[in-house]
Amino acid sequence: MKKFRQAALIAGVLTAGLMSAQSTNTAEKSMRNTLKVGLNAGIAVPNENLSASVGADVAYQYLVTPSFGLGIASGYTQYFKKNNDGLKNNSVGVIPAAALLRFYPQKTGFYFGSDVGYGFLTGNDKVASNADVKRPDGGFYIKPQVGFHNRDWNFFVQYQKVFVGSRGDIANQKYNVGNIGVGATYNIALGK
């Protein structure tokens, strides 16, 4: 009877271990397809025409390997106006249409990556309300970031920029849509 109890205990421990490994493997597979939603805030750089920004992020990520993710990213960032040398600059919004690239060296910890694509600019058609200079419609968009991740969250420092060339420049003011900021996204698993 004693040997039967020992065999039953060993079988129970092995079964629990296998079930735990299987549920962990299923959890990892369920995070292969992820919806990321989050918020970010930053300070415009350089800040000739804009002062600060706040935004919402939404992205889809597919983990090609446990360390490398690809996907698509969008959202909305509102840049707040800043008056400069008599110019009454207008606020502007950015809606990106971008590819997402992420590198996760470990399951939890440091990560880095970037969103790369096109940034559509929204808002008033003019750069400043007291100047007749048309605001650009958009430009090349990049958003590199470095941060900390775990299964549910990503916390990061970012640089966001829409390259518009010299479009929108007024006299000695260069038109700029870019910021350095911080943000966080929540990861929602989309199945197995």
Judge contact between 176 and 48, C-beta under 8 A.
Answer: yes
| Residue 13: per-residue pLDDT | 46
Judge contact between 142 and 115, C-beta under 8 A.
Answer: yes
Instruction: Report the predicted TM-score, pTM, of the whole model to 2 decimal places.
Output: 0.83
pLDDT, tens only, 84-123: 989 999 999 999 999 999 999 999 999 999 999 999 999 9
Please tell me the distance from the alpha carbon of residue 127 to that of residue 87, in angstroms, as a whole number: 9
DSSP string, 24-70: HHHHHHHTSEEEEEEEEEEEESS-SSEEEEEEEEEEEEEEEETTEEE
Structure tokens at 98: 């971008």
pLDDT, tens only, 50-62: 999 999 999 999 9
Q: Alpha helices of the chain — where are they, by DSSP H?
A: 2-30
